[in-house]
Amino acid sequence: MNKNNQAIKNIVILGGGTAGWMTAAALGRFLNNSYQITLVESDNIGSVGVGEATIPQIQVFNKTLGIDEADFVAKTKATFKLGIEFVNWGQQGDSYIHGFGHLGQDLNAVPFHHFWWKARQLNLAKPLGEYALNCKASWQNKFMRSIDAGNSPLSDIVYAYQFDAGLYANYLKEFACKHGIKHKIAEVESTLLKPENGHIQTLTLKNGEQISADLFIDCSGMRALLIDKALKVGFENWQAWLPCDSALAVASEKLTPLPPYTRATAHSAGWQWRIPLQHRTGNGHVFSSEFMQAEQAEKILMQNLDSPAISQAKLINFTTGKRKSFWHKNCVAIGLSSGFMEPLESTSIHLIQSAIARLLAFFPDKSFNQANINEFNKQTHFEYDTIRDFIILHYKATQRTDSEFWRYCKNMPVPDSLAEKFELFNANGHVSRNKNELFSENSWVEVLFGQNITPDSYHPLVDMMSETELAKNINSIEQVVKQCVDYMPSQQEYLQHIGG
């Protein structure tokens, strides 16, 4: 029991997109019917409707909620995702996979990529992806979950999902409503602030009804009705580093065989995603309106589909950047209302998940302790900024000069934090990262080498191994990965096996 009986009682979640329903599901599950929680969404204003590729952390969210994986995969028409293939990023014609999970095997406590880089220069090694189960299995459209196989890579297969965003929202809606969340369909017209402290007091609906609460969670998407329109916290614009501001999304027929990975193909002023689901394929062309008109972007999108289109292309405009505060007074912004960094590394749903975890960790009482709010904001800024650097890396690390867009990206100044990472890696292949950063050393290494950024040197301890020994080790890692992938079924067979 709260010592001053300051416990909040009423919570309103504004918005019924992925952010709103993920928040509702988690609060319903963990607040145990002790709070009155209402989700308000308009049936007039649609959700963004994209957001179908994820990263492995989503499994933690699902497991914490107690969601059964086979049921989830079947009901959201999900496929498994082992990584992202990047095509045409370093140079046109290039392709590499940023795979989740392990890369080779560290030798004598030195990360694998240092050995690989020496071997590669001596023509003793194949491309980096040959030493990572996730990359090799992706190329062969294979998938399985981990099995108990000792220290084999098959014992630790790291994966995420690709799912239908609409079905995912419905799935979570059902879950949330079962856990006591009230669902109200109504459009919010205005917001009233308390004159004494500027907290949100009530939302006025189009029908004149007013809803009040102690805590408001803004999941209203890019409209950011509460955190921005009502509380005016301000926005930090990142377009100079992440210049894409538009996307055209279109669905096409399902693919056979079914790839267990997302693909991001660079075009002349942006890139195109391909997300294979069980029943259809999600596609979209993310581009910069400064460098390309929407008509041309649509033409490129439609010309580069791998299966016939089954919907009309839908245009979505966005601005890359983040809110200056994510939690202000009695309002917490979760989802697109908090900011957007474009979908290149499928990080937005993860940001929703981690904001929810952080809200539960610093859950307020009526005093809305400022120290809690400050820590929530500090951690969220750190997460946003470090993910931002990883995404900018893909644009900056290009050798393309075939279009104005790529010349701009190649020459643009980057944040100091990213410039330092480049400098260190260029020198000797080290990746410096704070242990709380989302993307691992392997992720950085795969993208850097994948986009032809190569270090001048490697870890000096590598030279303690003779060239014969080096060749033997590198070859044996490749063989282990090959044998594991040979053993794996196709994703299609695996989905049938689990009843997906």
> Using CB under 6 A as the criterion, which residues of the chain lie in contact with ligand FAD when the complex forms?
14-20, 40-42, 45, 47-48, 50-54, 187-188, 219-221, 223, 225, 247, 284, 316, 318, 335-337, 343, 346, 348-349
Q: Which is nearer to ligand FAD, 88 or 220 (CB)?
A: 220
CA 365 – CA 100 distance, rounded (Å): 39
Question: Measured from the CB of residue 189, what is the shortest distance to ligand FAD in angstroms?
Answer: 7
Please identify, using beta-carbon distances, which residue of 89 and 168 lies nearer to ligand FAD: 168
Reduced to 3 states (helix: H, G, I; strand: E, B; else coil), residue 190 is: strand
- CB neighbours of residue 440 within 10 Å: 16
Q: For the chain, how big is the Rg over CA atoms in Å?
A: 24
CA atoms within 13 A on the CB side of 130: 12
For residue 91, give the nearest of 391, 424, 453, 346 by alpha carbon.
453
Nearer Cβ to ligand FAD (169/470): 169
Beta bridge partners of residue 152, listed in sequence order: none
By three-state DSSP, how is residue 79 classified? strand
* DSSP reduced 3-state for 5: coil
Question: How does DSSP assign 472-500, residue by residue?
Answer: HHHHHHHHHHHHHHHHSPBHHHHHHHHT-
CB 276 within 8 A of CB 258: yes
Closer residue to ligand FAD in complex, CB, 40/447: 40
- Nearest approach in angstroms of CB 105 to ligand FAD is 30
The total number of residues shown for the chain amounts to: 500
Strand order in the sheet with 321-323: 235-237, 321-323, 339-340
Three-state DSSP class for residue 170: helix
- CA dihedral sign of residues 137, 138, 142, 145: positive
Task: Compare residues 237 and 454 and give the one whose CB is closer to ligand FAD.
Answer: 237
CB of 191 to ligand FAD, least distance (A): 10
Q: Dihedral through CA 464, CA 469, CA 473, CA 475, nearest 10?
A: 140
Least separation in angstroms between residue 319's CB and ligand FAD is 11
Write down the least CB distance from residue 136 to ligand FAD, Å: 23
Spatial CB neighbours of 343, under 8 Å, sequence gap ≥ 6:
50, 51, 53, 247, 273, 284, 286
Pairing outcome for strands 36-41 and 10-14: parallel
Picking from 22, 119, 20, 30, the residue whose alpha carbon sits closest to that of residue 62 is: 22
The DSSP secondary-structure symbol of 226 reads I
**CB of residue 247 to ligand FAD, shortest distance in Å:** 3
Active site includes 63? Answer: no
CB of 91 to ligand FAD, least distance (A): 25
CA dist 435 → 164, 382, 432 (Å): 32, 12, 9
H/E segment holding residue 278: none
- State the minimum distance, in angstroms, from the CB of residue 38 to ligand FAD: 12
Active-site residue, selected from the candidate residues 81, 142, 329, 421:
81
Own/partner long-range contacts of 369-375 (Cβ < 8 Å, ≥24 apart): 373/327, 373/328
User: What are the C-alpha distances in Å from 192 to residues 189, 213, 269?
Assistant: 10, 12, 43
Whether 356 contacts 334, CB under 8 Å:
yes
For the bound state, the minimum distance from the C-beta of residue 253 to ligand FAD, rounded and expressed in Å, comes to 19
In this complex, which beta carbon is closest to ligand FAD, that of residue 20 or of residue 455?
Answer: 20
| Of 389 and 480, CB closest to ligand FAD | 389
* Beta carbon nearer to ligand FAD, 104 or 321: 321
Which residue lies nearer to ligand FAD by CB, 48 or 144?
Answer: 48
Centre a 10 Å sphere on the Cβ of residue 277 and count the other Cβ atoms it contains. Answer: 23
Q: Which residues are catalytic?
A: 81
